[in-house]
Amino acid sequence: MNFGLNVPVIRLLIVKDWQLFQKQLAAYVLAGFAALTLLGLAKPWAFYLGSLALIVVLVAAACFAIATSLLVERKEQTLAFVMSLPVSPLDFTAAKLLGNLLTFGVPFAVLLLGTLVVILTTPLPDGLVILALLLFGHVLLAYSVSLAVAMQVESEGWNTFAMIGSMVLINPFLMAIGQIEAIQGPLRGDAIAWSLPAALILAGQLLVSAAALAGTAWWQGRKAAFY
Amino acid sequence: MYQQIVDQITARVMAGDWRPGQPLPSIRELAAGSGVSVITVKRAYEELERAGVIVTRHGKGSVVADRPEPARALLEEGLRHHLQEAIAVGARLGLDRAALHQRLDVVLDGNPPTSQSKGSQS
Amino acid sequence: MTAAFAVKGLRKHYPDFALQDVDLTLPQGQVMGLVGVNGAGKTTLLRLLTGLAAPDAGSIEVLGCRLPDEQVAAKRQLGFASEDMRLYRGQSLDWHIDLVRRIYPEWDDAYARELIARFDLKPAQALGGYSHGQRVKALLLLCLSRRPRLLLLDEPTTGLDPVARAEVLETLCDVLRDEGRSVLFSSHNTHDVERLADSIGFLHQGRLVAHADKERFLDNWRRVLCLGAAPGGLDGWPELVHVRAAGSQVELKVRAWRDDLPQRLSAAGLTVQRVDPMPLEDIFVTAVRAGGAA
Amino acid sequence: MTPPRPAAPAASFDAGPAVRIHALDHLRALAMLAGVLFHAALAYSPLLGSYWPAADRENWWGVDALAWLLHLVRMPLFFLVAGYFTASLLERRGMSGLARQRARRILVPFVVAWPLVDGSLALATEWAAAAVAHPSPMLRLIRDWLAQPDPPSLPPRTGHLWFLYYLLLFSVLLWALRTLGWGARLERWMEKGPQHLAWALPLLLWPGFMATGSPHPAPESLLPEAWALAVFGPFFALGLGLHGRLEWLAPLQRWLAPGGLLCLGLYALLADHWTTGATVARTAWAPALLEALIAAWGTLVVLLVGLRFLAQPSPVLRYLSASAYWTYLVHLPLLFALQYPLMDLAWPWPLKFAAAVAATTTLCLLSFELLVRRTPLQRFVG
């Protein structure tokens, strides 16, 4: 079953977006590499700097991937060229969603796994796993919302607002969970203790992310034509 | 625009570039080659056929007609048209028949005569 | 024989514009020129024909495919280039060719190479460094080399210098050789339409005000110069679109020419001095000024 | 009449590219096989006596003298040749072809072999910690540590497979830098000529050697270690740059003998620093500079010698180079499994060394012949 999707062309569109994004991605890979090397120096200052740099790289890569594949294409009117190719709006949506999830998902998964391995295999308290998951959950949520907005809304201003706004919210979010004793308490312990608020927040993040992406896919997929 | 094509083909037939019986390019070929629409060439061919310059056989394309007289007649027709226009302008200028003749002579003398007219003079 | 495209009762509403009740058919192997001022609806019609937009009412069939449902199948055989379509500035023509070639199995590489040479394009250079004319030619190359059965071109020659324009038009003429291929192109440049089109569609304020084969369309129009005083009531003659008296001369523009008109003019007291066919440009301007009377 | 040919600087540079590939292929095989010798010798190294789990009761300073010289040249040479072959692959198959080859030949073997090698090493060591009557200081430490009620786990380390991990890292870096258009920079460096390189290379390596212990350890962390990138990266880049123009090295030929002798002299100075023991994590500028000079010049010397003497195809070398990858992957667990029981034997150490090397090599080659050479495994590690 391919659900009427034009799979070869979707693949080509993803490869095309990847090629367009390649130069930027190379820069992010280099930056990520440098951040990992900083972590590898095994000094406290290098550890903080490295993990900060990693988050910055991840967020920047996510935002610019959206910008390159959706916003710039719209602004530079190359979108008309893509739409003239034999694709339906559903194919186009699938290519954009999959392509973006790939460019974001791969580094995101690698970083998440790496972070969990570092926490679990080093003397760092294992309770931090929950904090790390909530943090990555927020980045995922911010990314999904930005992607959904970028696919639905043409206005560049709203898109920039969605991207920067959702990512910047990470600070108040961290402060907020700092206030919740049930989450904050077990962080320094060596057991991974799930509290109800933590579980609810993570579930909420995952649900909203999935809903935003699924809603976008559904909304775009039922359009018969682009305009 | 079709008139230009009619004139060009007539001129070629008259000059002997295209001999009687010679096939003409297909309509699409001529249209693509001269950069005009198919329908324009089609109309020109119809016009040429009506005048008897070319003969179109169904399914076999067009060939130049066996006798070039129709082409000659077509050119004669063109010349008559131009002369009539000249007479109309002359009338506006108030020229009589003699004055028109004289103007024609002036132009003929001033321009290098064509090889044909040169032959008839000597 | 299926038509290259056939639309019936087409309507499309936008907040500030509406395309209304368009019926239009292009037989296979023909070239249609679409004329109309900016905002007349040419781009909307082309968007509907490529399946990018869905009509509010009416039916669209392109190369035997119903749109927009079967747009993928239709777009496989379509070449579409519009004025607001851009290629990727950071990538080379070779990169674009590679992308398009993988999508269209009919891609003709030899023809693409020939066009690169004819258009004098540098295939390895990033398109950001191309001039406007070069970009138009690159886009056209990408359309033509896939050997589409129907070419839809929105203003292909706008903004080109005379040399580039001649090159583009000559290349369009290549398409004429094949009777299975059809072209619909819109242009402000009525000379191009007059040269290349087999039929003419005339859009005005979202309506198709005229559609006829070109020779017939042009044949319907005449400019007549008369001497004498213009009699009253001349404005009421339905075939006269334009009447202007200057001194003892009266200029008439006729949209439905019949051979008995000079007689009727004489009867009305005018001496016909000359009768000339009108170039499309003149017809276009006259018709638009008369509120779309074609 | 044939025009006079320009005098060739040396015989091997005049030979066709195929011959040069032979030489490099043989060099790579020898560099990997030298690893077996090196790891076997560490059991009898005074310098490493307190760090190496399989350290024997007996040791001899001469082992240090030979092993650590080998150590400074072996992996740099390996990365240089790897860079050369990477460039060749890139030229023939492009970036995507290279990525596929790296996935099949490096990523898959690494992911599969790592847990197996790590597990069997741990198994052998746990057995040894419990069973050996004359344990090394390290083994004793492990024994105490295992005796704890809840021994803390250590972060995963790549062990001797670190070279695969770094080949992957360098391939990713190569992709990123090439995509950003830095290929031309390497080209500009190469244009400056080999003498320039002979001076620049040690200076490039120097900070890397200062940032790690002396003799340098293996970069076994899963996070990229800056010093290892700084020390092995330049060799990989040099290998990339040398592809298609080994004759570029020809002007260095006349420095072969003096360079080789100079390296030995420098090594004597370095060994003097080691009499106070190995250093961990940091190295003073002077010994680090010595290490940089020896690694840079020694590698070039061995490369030039190899190009001159290893250029002829030979069945033995061919078999060794075909089996080298497999041998290197599996040798360490075998070696440890053999050397742990040897610790309790009263044999003189050279006999133990010879027995361990002979048995390990035999087992490696035998398993290659039976498991790899004619099986699908050959596509991955053959």
Q: What is the pLDDT of residues B10-54, one digit of tens each?
A: 888 888 888 888 888 888 888 888 888 888 898 898 888 888 888
The DSSP secondary-structure symbol of C202 reads E
Specify whether C65 is located in the same domain as C195: yes
Determine the Cα–Cα distance for residues A83 and B91; give it in Å rounded to an integer. Answer: 64
Residue D379 pLDDT grade (very low, low, confident, very high; cuts 50, 70, 90)? confident
Asked if the structure places residue B61 within a domain, the reply is yes
Question: Domain limits at B3?
Answer: 1-112
pLDDT at site C60: 93
Residue C25's CATH number: 3.40.50.300
Asked if the structure places residue C27 within a domain, the reply is yes
Instruction: Write down the mean pLDDT value for chain D.
Output: 88
The CA distances from residue C31 to C143, C149, C198, C278, D121, in Å, are 16, 12, 5, 21, 78
Instruction: Write down the mean pLDDT value for chain A.
Output: 85
Q: What is the pLDDT of residues D293-311, one digit of tens each?
A: 999 999 999 999 998 888 8
Specify whether C204 is located in the same domain as C266: no
Q: Which is nearest to C143 in space by CA: C160, C162, C156, C159? A: C156
D223 Cβ under 8 Å from any chain A Cβ: yes
**SS3 (DSSP) at D59:** coil
Asked if the structure places residue B13 within a domain, the reply is yes
Contact at 8 Å (CB) between D83 and D236?
yes
- Choose between B119 and D109: higher pLDDT: D109
Q: What is the pLDDT of residues D241-285, one digit of tens each?
A: 999 888 888 888 888 999 999 999 999 988 888 877 777 778 889
Question: Which residues, other chains included, contact C53 with Cβ-Cβ below 8 Å and sequence gap of 6+?
Answer: A225, A226, A227, C12, C44, C47, C68
Q: Please report residues of B whose CB lies closer than 8 A to that of C174.
A: 32
Residue B45's CATH number: 1.10.10.10
According to DSSP H, which parts of B16-96 are helical? Answer: 27-34, 38-51, 69-93
Determine the Cα–Cα distance for residues C89 and D23; give it in Å rounded to an integer. Answer: 46
Cα angle C105, C111, C113 (rounded to 5 degrees) comes to 110
Specify whether C115 is located in the same domain as C196: yes
Q: What is the pLDDT of residues A166-216, one digit of tens each?
A: 888 888 888 888 888 888 877 777 778 788 888 999 999 999 999 999 998
DSSP helix, strand, coil percent of chain D (3-state; round to 5): 75, 0, 25
Q: How far is B115 from chain C (nearest CA, A)?
A: 34
DSSP helix, strand, coil percent of chain A (3-state; round to 5): 80, 0, 20
Residue C197 and residue B37: Cβ atoms within 8 Å? yes
Q: Which residue has the tokens 């070069």?
A: C134
Q: Return the H-helix or E-strand segment holding B106.
A: helix B97-110
Residue C169 and residue B38: Cβ atoms within 8 Å? no
The CA distances from residue C201 to B2, C24, C67, D3, in Å, are 20, 8, 21, 74
Residue to mutate among B37, B39, B84, with most C CBs inside 10 A, is B37
Asked if the structure places residue C289 within a domain, the reply is no
Q: Return the H-helix or E-strand segment holding C217.
A: helix C214-219
D162-179 helix and D108-131 helix, angle to the nearest 10 degrees: 150
pLDDT at site C8: 92
Per-residue pLDDT of chain C (294 residues; tens, 9 = 90+): 578 999 999 999 988 889 989 999 999 989 999 998 888 888 889 989 988 888 999 999 999 898 888 888 888 899 999 888 899 998 999 999 999 999 998 899 999 999 999 999 999 999 999 998 899 999 999 999 999 999 999 988 888 888 888 888 888 888 888 888 899 999 888 888 888 899 999 898 888 888 888 888 888 899 998 888 877 777 778 888 888 888 888 889 998 888 888 888 888 888 888 888 899 989 988 888 887 666
pLDDT at site A197: 87
Q: How far is D340 from chain A (nearest CA, A)?
A: 28
Q: Which is nearest to D81 in space by CA: D379, D337, D324, D345? A: D324
pLDDT at site D240: 94
Q: What part of C 161-180 touches B (C-beta under 8 Å)?
A: 169-170, 173-174, 176-179
Q: How far is D221 from chain A (nearest CA, A)?
A: 8
CA closest to C153 among chain A residues: A84
According to DSSP H, which parts of D16-147 are helical? Answer: 17-41, 61-102, 108-131, 137-147
Q: Return the H-helix or E-strand segment holding C33.
A: strand C31-35
B97-110 helix and B69-93 helix, angle to the nearest 10 degrees: 120
Residue B37 and residue C31: Cβ atoms within 8 Å? yes
D87-121: burial string, b at 16+ Cβ within 10 Å, e else: bbbbeeeeeeebeebbeebbbebbeebbeebbebb
Average pLDDT, integer, range D70-80: 95
Residue D17 has pLDDT above 80, yes or no: no
Determine the Cα–Cα distance for residues A141 and A162; give it in Å rounded to an integer. Answer: 11
CB atoms within 10 A of CB D5: 7
Asked if the structure places residue C247 within a domain, the reply is yes
Closest partner residue to D155 (CB to CB) among A33, A41, A122 is A122
pLDDT at site A3: 53
Residue C85 and residue A80: Cβ atoms within 8 Å? yes
Asked if the structure places residue C282 within a domain, the reply is no
Q: How far is A39 from chain D (nearest CA, A)?
A: 7
Q: How far is C271 from chain B (nearest CA, A)?
A: 14
C and A adjacent (3 or more CB pairs under 8 angstroms): yes
Asked if the structure places residue B121 within a domain, the reply is no
Residue D19 pLDDT grade (very low, low, confident, very high; cuts 50, 70, 90)? low
Residue D177 and residue A26: Cβ atoms within 8 Å? yes
Specify whether C194 is located in the same domain as C253: no
Domain boundaries, chain A: 7-221
Q: Using a pLDDT cut of 70, give the percent of chain B over it.
A: 88
Parts of chain A with a pLDDT under 50: 1-2
In this structure, what are the phi and psi dihedrals at residue C271, rounded to the nearest 5 degrees?
A: -95, 120
Residue B43 and residue C176: Cβ atoms within 8 Å? no
Q: Please report residues of A whose CB lies closer than 8 A to that of C65.
A: none
Q: Which residue has the tokens 């308290």?
A: A125
Asked if the structure places residue C292 within a domain, the reply is no
Specify whether C188 is located in the same domain as C248: no
What is the amino acid identity at position C166? A
Name the domain count of chain C.
2
Residue A26 and residue D224: Cβ atoms within 8 Å? no
Question: Domain limits at C253?
Answer: 222-277
Name the domain count of chain B.
1
Determine the Cα–Cα distance for residues C292 and C290; give it in Å rounded to an integer. Answer: 6
Asked if the structure places residue C285 within a domain, the reply is no
pLDDT at site A201: 93
ipTM of this complex: 0.72
